[in-house]
Amino acid sequence: MTPALLTVAYRLQIPSERFRTHARSVADQIAEAPGLVWKIWGLDPDSGQGTSVYLFRDAASASAFATGPVIAGLRNGPARDVITRISPVEAGLSTITGAAPALM
């Protein structure tokens, strides 16, 4: 089974503080997503640009999440221009750069 990265880029339609409140309300749901290893939140409050990076155990789990209710809620709520991308993890190179613990 090859781990997969899901990246989600978006632009906020609401102030960043309001988004943080919204995000806290779904963070537990995200944490329970099947196959999720971790998620990192990126947000530039000045521009409203956000990028989330998720590591999933496999591409099927990443795909199910990308087409599921959390991302749909982002698209239909606080964000616009939501772009998702799924990429298989290149384990050999990732191990060299310190990702080995997350890939086990």
Give CA–CA dist 71/78, Å, rounded. Answer: 11
Give CA–CA dist 23/16, Å, rounded. Answer: 10
Q: What's the pLDDT at 1?
A: 84
Helix (H) or strand (E) holding 4: strand 4-12
Domain that holds residue 32: 4-103
> Residue with structure tokens 């616009």?
80
Q: What's the pLDDT at 103?
A: 84
Number of structural domains, the chain? Answer: 1
Q: What's the pLDDT at 100?
A: 85
Q: What's the pLDDT at 104?
A: 73
3-53 tens-digit pLDDT: 999 999 999 999 999 999 999 999 999 999 999 999 999 999 999 999 999
59-77 tens-digit pLDDT: 999 999 999 999 999 999 9
CATH code for the domain of 44? 3.30.70.100
> Strand pairing partners for 55?
5, 38
Three-state secondary-structure class, residue 56: strand
